[in-house]
Amino acid sequence: MENFTPFTSLAGGALIGLSAGLYIVLNGRIAGISGVIGGLINGTAKQKAERLAFIAGLVIGPVILALVSGYRPPITVDANLPVLVLAGLLVGYGTNLGSGCTSGHGICGLARFSPRSLAATLAFMGTGLLTTFVMRHLIGF
């Protein structure tokens, strides 16, 4: 378990929880990222501006962290281009149809004890684990 990072992961998770908690208390909205992105099409100009501000925050958040703490984790995207496009299509289609992703169902939904979100989280965890197993151990990507 050489890559295991319990402390930074717990601290990062706490920041994510703080963000989701503040967003429901301050703005009255669920910090579900797929919902925030999907909502850019619908709604009033004010609502769209708010969602756009959240998305801008998502992009500058890692930069602020790097400036404040000097910590900037490396990112590695192993998937080749066709796999990456297929993955993106599935993630976009699936989160829209299933009304949420890891943040909306996995954090916000579970934090308010929603049975729907528990079912959704078990479903995407299940196929996530299965797909990774097939890709890494059966196909050998």
Q: How far is the CB of 48 from another protein (least distance, A)?
A: 11
Interaction of residue 43 with another protein, rule CB under 8 A: no
The interface with another protein within residues 15-34 (CB under 8 A) comprises: 15-31, 33-34
- Among residue numbers 51 through 80, which ones bind another protein (CB under 8 A)? 51, 53-66, 69, 71-79
| Interface size with another protein, residues (CB under 8 A) | 113
- Is there a contact between 109 and 119 (Cβ–Cβ < 8 Å)? no
Q: How far is the CB of 54 from another protein (least distance, A)?
A: 4
Q: Determine which residue in the list 43, 70, 86, 140 makes contact with another protein, applying CB under 8 A.
A: 86
- Residue 59 — φ and ψ, nearest 5°? -75, -40
Quick check: 10 binds another protein (CB under 8 A)?
Answer: yes
Min CB(16)–another protein separation in Å: 4
CB of 42 to another protein, least distance (A): 10
Does 48 interact with another protein (rule: CB under 8 A)? no
89-128 positions binding another protein, by CB under 8 A: 89-103, 105-112, 114-116, 119-121, 123-128
Q: Could you please report the per-residue DSSP string of the chain? A: -TT--HHHHHHHHHHHHHHHHHIIIII-----HHHHHHTTTSS-HHHHHHHHHHHHHHHHHHHHHHHHH---------S-HHHHHHHHHHHHHHHHHTT--TTIIIIIIHHTT-HHHHHHHHHHHHHHHHHHHIIIIII--
